[in-house]
Structure formats: C-alpha cells, structure tokens
Amino acid sequence: MSKKSSKKSIHLENELQDIKKKSSGFISEFKTFIARGNVMDLAVGVIIGGAFSNIVTSLTNNILMPIVGVVVGGFNFTDLVCRINVWGREVVLKYGEFIQNTVDFLLTALCIFIIIKFINRFFNKKKEEEEKPAEPVKSDEVVLLEEIRDLLKKQK
C-alpha cells in the first residue's frame, strides 16, 4: 500500500468517525426530544382528539341538527344552490353546503366548549379540595402565652 492510499484511508476513517459522532449526537438528541413529556402529551392528545371528534360529529349530526331542523321548520340548508350561466356553461354554487358546514362547526365548537368547561369545573373543585389551607402551626412560645392567658382569665 502506498503512502497516498494509506493517508486517504486514514482520512476516510476519521471522516466516518466524525459522521458517527454527529449522527449519534443527533439520534440521542432526537430520543431526548421524543421522550419529553410535552411530545408524548401531544401525541396522546391527537389520538384522543381523533376519537373524540367522532363523538362530537355524531352528537352534532344525529342529535343537534335534527333539533335545529325542527326549529327552522324542516328546512335543509344543503338544498340551497345558486345556478349561474357562465360562457355557456352552468355553474352551481352550493352556498347551502357552506351554511350547513358553518352551522356544524359552530355546534361542534359549542359542544367542545361545554364539555371542556364541565371538565375544568370538575378538576377545579377537586384541586380546591386538595389545596385547602392547613391550619397554621403555632410556635411553642405562642402556645405557652395562650396557656398563661387562659390561667390568668381563670384567676380573675
């Protein structure tokens, strides 16, 4: 092996070691990032949010919207369309779908707001019960002075 090729191989080995150090640092930093509580909490929140959205969608579509339909006299917003003739072609603007989706969004937001408000109230009550202030501890001097005071009252 010539001197040039041995220098190149040593140089390549050094570069490979540098790359290994950098990648292991990156991997360990990534592991630290993933292991943080915030990322795990976010992942759990996204999963639960996905499942929760099915519940809220069902509540909106199957319970609240029929009530809204009765209130507005069975009127269905999705039937509202506007037909426009543009350059010989008919364009259908489904603004009723937009209104329906907006109402769905507002009802969904209202449901989530009420549920979160209920959960917060429940946890705040629980927290208040846990955080009731303990009675202050009296020092020995205060206890002794109170005993002296009580004895003086008895003597009078």
pLDDT at 93: 92
Query: Mind listing the pLDDT tens digit for each residue in 65-85?
Result: 788 778 877 777 788 899 999
Whole-angstrom distance, CA of residue 150 vs CA of residue 153? 5
The model's confidence at residue 14, banded by pLDDT at 50, 70 and 90, is confident
Assigned token pair, 56? 């809220």
Which range scores top for mean pLDDT: 14-28, 113-127, 142-156? 142-156
Query: Mind listing the pLDDT tens digit for each residue in 116-135?
Result: 888 888 888 776 666 666 67
Helices 37-59, 95-130: crossing angle, 10 deg rounding: 130
Helices 3-35, 37-59: crossing angle, 10 deg rounding: 50
pLDDT at 1: 53
pLDDT at 7: 66
